[in-house]
């Protein structure tokens, strides 16, 4: 069996790895570290969770032991698609580099330029950046890239999704051709392969299988729902309240706009909830995560982009408010629960437009997921809309406001792409809503009782708002009232468009 000491790493690094408690390298580490130490280019196909970060951080630390940093001329550069990932890589450098005296500069949006300038002035051995902020620094003339010996491009497929490839190409042109390049991507679509061919010279290709299975200890269920957001929100609330073992949960949405909406709705309904999405400033995100980790908030609404790669401890429940468009994201999301053999539960709200995505998920994980309370064919009639297009109006107000304000290059480009990725999905929604309504109206006429069939939630002591809403569980009127309350979610802040200030999304201490 290969151990870390077989890989050619320095003593300082080996000692830090031993202190971290790792004895056996993961497959990506075993495959990438030896050629990286020989200054070879690497094409690593691996996802977060495979030990990928250490597979480039450990050889970099070893190689950086020779030479020293010069002012404004970083020696190595790591590009990450999101601020959180960049911050996490910086944490890895601190952990594994604890026996080194290296200067690490984290250049991410949402943090003042001055502080970052000071770090660059001192000379950085390692520069960890999101692409937009790095270019901003270069344009301000504060940074010379000609001393970069090692370039790491991490999560290249996410970079593509977020529209960062032109920025990466610009950055690569600023770095000497003689550099060593370590390139990582979870998937290899043709665009990424082309990019790798351009950036890498005779790379060592190391591929590890993407996680395609979900832990056996996780109970997974699909939950049929109508496509209207207020209906889905009501189903979600019932579901949350019905969970007796709910310690904490992450609720995933496909779009950042829906993260904000769902967060506000849950908060108004008295849940202990926070939100994490790409538009929040760094400080708010860090506070939010810390509150969730410390148990000050019970539910965290998040988008994939915001949550990807985050070191969030084990959660008892995952709720997918939207079915993920990429089946791999389902595996990622579900992987947040049921860790280390502990039990977990994952519920996915499924509407009629989602079946092609649920089929892809079941194919990937090679498992038929059971339905809770009946499948889509048994879905009761939708609630008649009381809100006269209120939510649609709200949506179109927001959509009309989208784009344009670019204060932060990374944030705006990433966020736009995040929205675009889901746009096809959303337009399908609009089409299918009418079909569902017509079909359901017929069903409702024929079977008025079945429309109220769905199981009502059990009382949930750990939630703050449980008493009123399920006091009369089987009462039609009560159910309708609850829907009314949801539609009357209180005044939505008007005039903010997509830029709802981050402080409005910060959960206070419970
Ligand atoms: P990553 O894929 O880099 O996000 O790493 C996923 C997790 O695996 C992190 O919490 C690392 O600390 C941990 N990890 C990395 N390498 C090893 C290893 N060789 N053995 C055990 N855990 C590891």
pLDDT digits (tens, 9 = 90+) for 67-104: 888 888 999 999 999 888 899 899 999 999 999 999 99
**Among 361, 381, 401, residue at a domain's last position:** 381
What is the residue with the minimal CA distance to atom 15 of ligand 1? 51
Residues 31, 100, single domain; the answer is yes
Do 257 and 203 share a domain, yes or no? no
Within-domain flag for 184: yes
**105 is written with which tokens?**
């500069």
Range of the domain at 85: 4-207
Burial call 343-354: b when 16+ CB within 10 Å, e when fewer: ebbbbbbbbbbb
Does residue 391 fall inside a structural domain? no
Q: Are residues 257 and 355 in the same domain?
A: yes
Atom 22 in ligand 1: residue holding the nearest Cα: 22
Judgement on whether residues 259 and 202 belong to the same structural domain of the protein: no
Please tell me whether residues 185 and 236 are part of one structural domain: no
Q: For ligand 1, say whether the CB of 492 is within 6 Å of any of its atoms.
A: no
Which of these three, 207, 239, 259, is where a domain ends?
207
The pick from 25, 26, 339 for probing ligand 1's pocket by mutation, whose C-beta has the most ligand atoms within 8 angstroms, reads 26
Using alpha carbons only, give the angle 300, 305, 306 rounded to the nearest 5 degrees: 40
Per-residue confidence at 504, pLDDT binned at 50, 70, 90? low
Do 377 and 429 have their domain in common?
no
CA distance 222 to 374: 9
Ligand 1 centroid vs 163 CA: distance in angstroms?
28
- pTM for this predicted structure: 0.57
Cβ 487 vs Cβ 390: under 8 Å: yes
Distance CA 54, CA 60 (A): 9
Q: Are residues 229 and 198 in the same domain?
A: no
Exposure on the CB side of residue 219, measured as CA atoms within 13 A: 11
- pLDDT tens-place string over residues 296-344: 999 999 987 666 656 566 799 999 999 998 888 898 888 888 766 678 9
| Confidence (pLDDT) at 503 | 53
Tell me, yes or no, whether 142 and 241 share the same domain. no
Residue owning the nearest CA to atom 14 of ligand 1? 51
- Residue 177 exposure: Cα atoms within 13 Å on the Cβ side: 1
Q: Is the pLDDT of residue 410 over 60?
A: no
Nearest to 80 by CA among 150, 44, 47, 129: 129
Q: Name the residue with the closest Cα to ligand 1, atom 16.
A: 51
Q: Do 37 and 63 contact (CB within 8 A), yes or no?
A: yes
189 and 232 assigned to the same domain: no
Tokens of 477: 């009127």
Indicate if 448 and 479 belong to the same structural domain.
yes
The CATH number of whichever domain residue 29 belongs to comes to: 3.40.50.300
For residue 11, report the distance from its CA to the centre of ligand 1, in Å. Answer: 19
Based on the domain organization, do 39 and 137 belong to the same domain? yes
Domain total in the chain: 3
Residue 212 covered by a domain: no
Among protein residues, the one with the nearest Cα to ligand 1's atom 19 is 25
Q: Among the atoms of ligand 1, which is closest to the Cα of residue 22?
A: 20
CB atoms within 10 A of CB 96: 24
- 26 and 166 belong to one structural domain: yes
């Amino acid at each position: 069996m290969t151990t870390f000491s077989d890989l050619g790493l320095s003593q300082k690094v080996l000692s830090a790895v031993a202190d971290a408690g790792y004895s056996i390298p993961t497959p990506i580490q075993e495959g990438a570290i030896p050629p990286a130490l020989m200054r070879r280019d690497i094409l690593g196909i691996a996802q977060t969770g495979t030990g990928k970060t250490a597979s480039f951080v450990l050889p970099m630390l070893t190689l950086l032991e020779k030479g020293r940093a010069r002012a404004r001329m970083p020696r190595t550069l790591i590009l990450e698609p999101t601020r959180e990932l960049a911050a996490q890589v910086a944490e890895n450098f601190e952990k594994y580099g604890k026996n080194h005296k290296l200067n690490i500069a984290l250049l991410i949006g949402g943090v003042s330029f001055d502080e970052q300038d000071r770090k660059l002035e001192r000379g950085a051995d390692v520069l960890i950046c999101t692409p937009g902020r790095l270019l901003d620094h270069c344009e301000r003339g504060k940074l010379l890239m000609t001393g970069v010996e090692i370039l790491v491009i991490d999560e290249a497929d996410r970079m593509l999704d977020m529209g960062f490839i032109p920025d990466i190409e610009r950055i690569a042109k600023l770095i000497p051709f003689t550099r060593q390049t370590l390139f990582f991507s979870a998937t290899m679509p043709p665009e990424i392969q082309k990019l790798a061919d351009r950036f890498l010279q005779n790379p060592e290709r190391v591929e590890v299988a993407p996680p395609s299975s979900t832990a056996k200890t996780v109970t997974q269920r699909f939950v049929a729902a109508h496509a209207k957001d207020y209906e889905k929100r009501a189903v979600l609330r019932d579901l949350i309240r019905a969970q007796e073992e709910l310690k904490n949960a992450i609720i995933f949405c496909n779009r950042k706009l829906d993260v904000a909406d769902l967060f506000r709705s849950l908060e108004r309904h008295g849940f202990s909830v926070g939100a994490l999405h790409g538009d929040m400033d760094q400080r708010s995100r860090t506070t939010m995560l810390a509150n969730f980790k410390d148990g000050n908030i019970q539910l965290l609404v998040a988008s994939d982009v915001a949550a990807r790669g985050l070191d969030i401890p084990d959660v008892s429940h995952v709720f997918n408010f939207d079915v993920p468009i990429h089946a791999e994201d389902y595996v990622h999301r579900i992987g947040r629960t049921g860790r280390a053999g502990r039990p977990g539960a994952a519920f996915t709200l499924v509407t009629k437009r989602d079946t092609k995505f649920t089929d892809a998920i079941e194919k990937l994980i090679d498992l038929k997921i059971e339905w809770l309370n009946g499948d889509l064919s048994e879905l009761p009639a939708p609630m008649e809309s009381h809100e006269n297009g209120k939510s649609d109006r709200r949506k179109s107000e927001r959509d009309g406001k989208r784009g344009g304000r670019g204060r932060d290059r990374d944030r705006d480009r990433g966020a736009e792409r995040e929205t675009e990725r889901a746009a096809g999905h959303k337009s399908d929604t609009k089409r299918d809503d009418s079909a569902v309504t017509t079909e359901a109206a017929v069903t409702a006429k024929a079977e008025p009782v079945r429309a109220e069939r769905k199981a009502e939630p059990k009382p949930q002591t750990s939630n703050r708002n449980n008493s009123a809403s399920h006091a009369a569980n089987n009462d039609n009127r009560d159910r309708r009232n609850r829907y009314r309350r949801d539609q009357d979610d209180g005044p939505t802040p008007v005039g903010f468009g997509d830029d709802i200030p981050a402080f409005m999304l910060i959960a206070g201490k419970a």
